[in-house]
Amino acid sequence: MSPSAIAIVRVQAFPGQATALGSYLGELLEQVRRQPGCQSGELRALAADRWQVSTRWASEAELEAHLSGAKAQQWLSQLGCGELALGLEFESRSAD
């Protein structure tokens, strides 16, 4: 069995948009938690205008399937092109 995987996304809010970005990320996280293979997810504030979303996946393959799916691509595009976020950083790693 392949090891579980962790995905971490850090997002910087546009000035004055930190609260709205946090709400938006919370809504996205609820949807991500319902994706096949997602075992858990957490949203936390790193600073007044910076958020982190961490998710744990049953396997690297399930994380990759999620990331290449249409929903994930849409969410990432909305964050990258929207009025809430200046930019984002992504990393993934084995959880085991």
Q: Where are the domains of the chain?
A: 5-94
Q: Which two tokens stand for residue 84?
A: 């809430």
Query: CATH number of the domain at 5-94, please?
Result: 3.30.70.100
Q: Compute CA 47 distance to the chain's CA centroid, rounded to the nearest angstrom.
A: 17
User: Is pLDDT of 52 > 80?
Assistant: yes
Per-residue model confidence as pLDDT tens digits over 63-83? 999 999 988 888 877 776 678
Which residues, in sequence order, are CB contacts of 47 under 8 Å at separation 6+?
none
In the sheet that 5-13 helps form, which strands lie side by side, from edge to edge?
A: 38-47, 50-57, 5-13, 85-94
Question: What does DSSP assign to residue 25?
Answer: H
Q: Indicate the pTM of the whole model.
A: 0.88
